[in-house]
Structure 1
Amino acid sequence: MGAGAGGTLITPVSGPAPHPDLDRHFGPLTRAEAAVVANIGVGLLDRLGTSPATGEDQPDLNVRAELIRYLLLGGPDVPRMHEKGIRLSGVRITGTLDLEGCRIPHDIGLLDCWFEMTPILRSAVIDTLSLDGSTLPGLAADRLDARGDLLMRAARITGPVVLRGARIGGDLIMDGAELDHPDDRALNAERLSVRGSALFRGTRMRGTLALPGARIGDDLDLFAAHIDRADAVAVDAGGVQINGDLVLRRCEVRGRVELVGAHVPGDADFSGAIITAPGEIALNLNRAEVAGAFFLRHEARIDGALSLNGATLGSIVDDAASWPAPGDLLLNRCRYGGFLAAPVGAEERLDWLSRQDPTRWGDDDFWPQPYEHLARVLGEMGHQDDKRTVLIEKERRQRRIRISRARSWTRKVFLWFSDRLLWLTTAYGRRPLVAVIWIVFFWLAGGVLFAALERNDNIRPNVMVVLRSPEWVLCGATQGETVTLPSLGLDRAGLAAEGQSQLDCWSAQPEAAAFPKFSALMLSADMIFPGLGSGQKDYWSPDTRSLQGYLGKIYAYFQTIAGLALGLLAVAGFSGIVRSD
């Protein structure tokens, strides 16, 4: 026996018992029981053992649970209890402490005690219950109404803790506790109501932490906790209502974490958390609402899938090293306001989205919404180029899926060709200026080609009167040759000098002075834009009498068709007609 913490040395009672009625109910009291009775009205902590009690039978430190119940409930034969309630430490409590349905207007402090049987507090109404440092085979406290705190710090509990429907007016604190119920729920707190915080910092738990439908007035904090329920649900908190933050920072969980439909007006912090459930949804936040930030960084690791389907997040704070493996991310219908201290580039975020594999989870073959929402967020953050890149990737993937869905090979070929055309010309309508660049390219290429044709005498006038004129015909022969002109019925000598082309010869004649001069670039522009009106197309044309001229004529036709098509695609791109949204 030792000293009371903050109190006086507790000495055993000798001589006649001060409360003979207790002898009639319980017979002789042990030294620990006598000390408890003697100090019941003092209000100090009765530290009767120097260390946490063990299961060894030490008669001096045995306290019967029936005696504690008798003292708590009071009555005419019971010593008056201090307003602070019972405060007992370091004893072995034998029998069952059964307070089911009791109304106890005092605190109950049983610290560093060893319980032989599971305490029963079903439907009890108490103030604060403290079991700090104690060893229990379980706790049955369904529908408990604790107007103060429920404290089990550093407690060791080898059976289930049941708090179904319990109401706690203060905090639920199990920091550093050890709970061992490996094949079932180690803590069953379904529909628990806590006015303050629920704290499990450093808790080690073999079995499930079950908080479905719980309402917590402040934080739910599992900082550095270890929870082990492999191949099952390790944390079951579906529909939990948390008015503060959800903290799983540096928490290790073997098994699934279920937070479906959770409501968190603060942050959800999984920084440094390790959650292991290979091949399953390791962290399920489907339809959860987190008004603050969702943290996934600082070497956080999810061995399994992270599902945020239908979740609403205020913002995301993450790093690439903490993202799930490819195929282990589900983001369909997930909405978030932005990224804070996190990658925002299109390349990084497309890598993030590429970790989705809807077909793996028996869903659709493609989810367009995550790409559309990411693009919207990047646009709102001022990253317009990244937004456009994301939308182009979304179009590419969506169109590829559309081709795979097509049933006939003819439709597959048509879709493949049209998609490639839209990609090359306008990037699926997201970059309509690309079509303008193509037009400029074909214009310059035509100018170079027509200039080369003109140098090689493969351009000629495109006017029949000129082509039938004596000057043009005579320029087709050298000065030493004789040419018959059927229209005049005369034979005339050729006009071209030795080595001079027909076009150069004709251009040197006085009759050609009034004919428009040839311009390769303007002829190319006329071919691409038939309505340009420069006149080059009406007056000049590739000479199809040679192979080069014939190929130039084909290119001219191609220019006309390409110019019309690219112009229409550019207009459609600017208007958004060719986009799939």
Structure 2
Amino acid sequence: MEITDLTPAERRVWQAFPLGEGVDFRESPEVRESPEDDPGTGGSWGPERTVRAEVLRALLLNGPTEDGEIAGMKLTGARITGCLDLMYGTVEQPVRLRSCHFDEAPNLYGAQVRTLALGDSVLPGLKAGTLRVESALRITCCRIAGPVRLAGAQITGAFFANGAELGTPHDPGAPDAPDPETAAEAVLQLNHAVIGADVWAPGLVAHGQVRMNGATVGGQVNLDGAEVGGGPGEIALDVETLSVGTDLRAKRLRARGTVNLSGARIPRHVNLAHARLSHPGGTALRASSCVVGELWLREAAPIQGTVNLRRSQLDLLYVSPEVWPDQVKLDGLGYRRLAPDLPAEQRLPLLERETTGYLPQSYEQLAAAYRTVGDEAAARTVQLAKLRRHRRTLPAYARIWGHLQDVTVGYGFRPMRAAGWLLVLLLTGAVAFALHHPRPLKSDEAPHFNPVFYTLDLLLPIIGFGQESAFAPDGRYQWLSYLLIATGWVLVTTVAAGITRSLSRQ
């Protein structure tokens, strides 16, 4: 391309490129939000700030250079017509196209660039699958109506999407609603991408799915204050099998659809503090088979939809009881500690919400978490609740025996109950037999009658004081003696079962 074929605006860009100088077409560059410089209205900009994409392509692939100067594309406030097609191309110079309006989606599929910054620009889309970036890729504060395709991209530095707005609000009833198949495509596609530093996207607004499944991020993923989902697809944030070097931050996240963390590997924090997760009738949070350091849902809004944490391994789980939804899936979930510190009675109702019914492992895991912090009383409360829940699954005859163990000694977790029952029965029998002495079987051989030890002889089937064998009550007192004997056997048997269970736990 010859310089004589260029418009005055394009000639400015051509002359600035070999010197690495910037060209700013904005009418009021000193005013940050000048209406006439809004890239959203860039389709009406005239030839004085219009540059053809083919001119930029010619510069980036084979532009002029100056000895002793570092060439570079630094363009601000331009309207770029045509398709900037750099497919499979290699661009040695940094590319900065800020506050620009693109008539067509750039095509950078398979390209190699040093750095690419599109901050504050408006684009109909971005085709950049398998893109290679030596430094950073920035779409900060961009407004991109179509999908941003970065699947398989390799970015040595960081990816910046803070403040960007991707996709368009979904309105199925609108006369110009997009095709459902096109609308269902993820608006941000970073699946299987490799990013050396961070994914920095606080304040991101994605009117559709954000997909990062299978991606590898060397630093952290920051989605603080982001809004994702709301399109026709069920998944709002898909980070399945994501591998992160440090944290996944998503404080104040607003997700309309499933947040899918299945199989993710995040060594430090998944921070969903103050988040709002909503997928009524579906799964709001799927974090099954994860390995996560700490999962935080501190002061989050009540989750609308099912939570699936099956087979995940966590060091710390921070969730208040009021955050949990009506249905949860906790089979195989392992955690070492729970926060905030709460009594067992406030956490036990969660285990009743398991969709598959009674799961002994969930109770054992909760009890183990209380033992980890040294709260043995809470651990015993959980174990007792487990046995009561298990009792509901037994046949009627087994439930009767379970009720006896529960009422008498609390399945061995409340041993002082047995002492209380024994004391009540002892006092009852001692008073009754003190008022009405049973007749001696052999008057000349019978010992002196003692109502207390006679009652103990009836209650304790193992220990004998010689009273029961020497005296025989009659009438209603005989029935009282039968009741004391039967009750004593029940107490002794349940106490023995409780002791055995306690020893087996230890």
Letter in 2 for 1:196: A
Q: Distance in 2 between matches of 1:167 and 1:568?
A: 69
Letter in 2 for 1:116: D
Q: Aligned match of 2:401 in 411, 418, 436?
A: 418
Q: Distance in 1 between matches of 2:254 and 2:460?
A: 68
Q: Distance in 1 between matches of 2:462 and 2:140?
A: 86
**Secondary structure in 1 aligned to 2:11?**
helix
Cα–Cα, structure 1 residues 228 and 534, in superposed 2: closer, same or farther, change >3 Å? closer
Cα–Cα, structure 1 residues 84 and 555, in superposed 2: closer, same or farther, change >3 Å? farther
Are residue 60 (structure 1) and residue 43 (structure 2) matched? no
CA contact (8 A) 2:87 2:108 kept: yes
Are residue 33 (structure 1) and residue 10 (structure 2) matched? yes
Q: Aligned match of 1:462 in 435, 441, 464?
A: 441
Cα–Cα, structure 1 residues 580 and 357, in superposed 2: closer, same or farther, change >3 Å? farther
**Secondary structure in 2 aligned to 1:109?**
strand
Q: Match of 2:485?
A: 560
Deviation at 1:578, TM superposition (A): 11
Q: Match of 1:269?
A: 271
**Secondary structure in 2 aligned to 1:442?**
helix
Q: Aligned match of 2:20 in 40, 43, 55?
A: 43
Q: Distance in 2 between matches of 1:315 and 1:41?
A: 55
Letter in 2 for 1:338: R
**Secondary structure in 2 aligned to 1:122?**
coil
Deviation at 1:438, TM superposition (A): 2.5
Letter in 1 for 2:216: R
CA contact (8 A) 2:411 2:494 kept: no
* Total equivalences in the alignment: 479
Deviations 1:244-290 (A, max 9, x none): 11111111111111111111111011111111110111111011111
Letter in 1 for 2:95: I
Q: Distance in 2 between matches of 1:530 and 1:38?
A: 107
Letter in 2 for 1:55: G
Q: Match of 2:201?
A: 200
Deviation at 1:353, TM superposition (A): 2.5
Deviation at 1:568, TM superposition (A): 2.7
Which is greater in Rg? 1
Q: Distance in 1 between matches of 2:124 and 2:464?
A: 97
TM-score, normalising length: structure 2: 0.89
Deviations 1:495-516 (A, max 9, x none): xxxxxxxxxxxxxxxxxxx963
Letter in 2 for 1:129: L
Q: Distance in 1 between matches of 2:372 and 2:132?
A: 48
Cα–Cα, structure 1 residues 162 and 433, in superposed 2: closer, same or farther, change >3 Å? same
Deviation at 1:219, TM superposition (A): 1.1
**Secondary structure in 2 aligned to 1:562?**
helix
Q: Distance in 2 between matches of 1:69 and 1:29?
A: 13
Letter in 1 for 2:346: E
Q: Match of 1:547?
A: none
Letter in 1 for 2:456: A
Are residue 517 (structure 1) and residue 437 (structure 2) matched? no
CA contact (8 A) 1:168 1:195 kept: yes
Q: Distance in 1 between matches of 2:288 and 2:361?
A: 15
Q: Note the 1:160-171 alignment, pairs <5 A.
A: 160-171=147-158
Deviation at 1:109, TM superposition (A): 0.5
Cα–Cα, structure 1 residues 530 and 303, in superposed 2: closer, same or farther, change >3 Å? closer
Letter in 2 for 1:207: G
CA contact (8 A) 2:446 2:471 kept: no
Deviations 1:490-534 (A, max 9, x none): xxxxxxxxxxxxxxxxxxxxxxxx963221101111112355343
Q: Distance in 1 between matches of 2:126 and 2:228?
A: 19
Q: Distance in 2 between matches of 1:579 and 1:392?
A: 15
Deviations 1:302-344 (A, max 9, x none): 21111111111110223233232x2x2221211111023x142
Are residue 575 (structure 1) and residue 489 (structure 2) matched? no
Deviation at 1:580, TM superposition (A): 11
CA contact (8 A) 1:71 1:79 kept: no
5+ residue gaps, structure 1: 1-20, 359-363, 404-411, 467-513, 545-549
CA contact (8 A) 1:573 1:579 kept: no
Are residue 365 (structure 1) and residue 357 (structure 2) matched? yes
Letter in 2 for 1:226: E
CA contact (8 A) 2:19 2:70 kept: no
CA contact (8 A) 2:243 2:265 kept: yes
Letter in 2 for 1:150: L
CA contact (8 A) 1:107 1:129 kept: yes
CA contact (8 A) 2:280 2:304 kept: yes
**Secondary structure in 2 aligned to 1:524?**
helix
Deviation at 1:426, TM superposition (A): 2.6
Q: Match of 1:224?
A: 225
Are residue 149 (structure 1) and residue 80 (structure 2) matched? no
Q: Match of 1:476?
A: none
Q: Note the 1:168-567 alignment, pairs <5 A.
A: 168-180=155-167, 182=170, 183=183, 184-230=185-231, 232-291=234-293, 293-324=294-325, 326=326, 328-340=327-339, 342-354=340-352, 356-358=353-355, 364-403=356-395, 412=396, 414-454=397-437, 459-463=438-442, 466=444, 516-542=447-473, 544=474, 550-567=475-492
Deviations 1:412-456 (A, max 9, x none): 3x12211211212232233344334333332222112211223xx
TM-score, normalising length: structure 1: 0.78
Cα–Cα, structure 1 residues 137 and 530, in superposed 2: closer, same or farther, change >3 Å? closer
Q: Match of 1:89?
A: 76
Q: Distance in 2 between matches of 1:351 and 1:526?
A: 44
5+ residue gaps, structure 2: 28-36, 171-182
Letter in 2 for 1:345: P
Q: Distance in 2 between matches of 1:136 and 1:337?
A: 47
CA contact (8 A) 1:395 1:580 kept: no
Letter in 2 for 1:22: E
CA contact (8 A) 2:79 2:100 kept: yes
**Secondary structure in 2 aligned to 1:401?**
coil
Letter in 2 for 1:86: M
Cα–Cα, structure 1 residues 251 and 531, in superposed 2: closer, same or farther, change >3 Å? closer
Q: Match of 2:179?
A: none
Cα–Cα, structure 1 residues 452 and 83, in superposed 2: closer, same or farther, change >3 Å? farther
Deviation at 1:108, TM superposition (A): 0.8
CA contact (8 A) 1:315 1:336 kept: yes
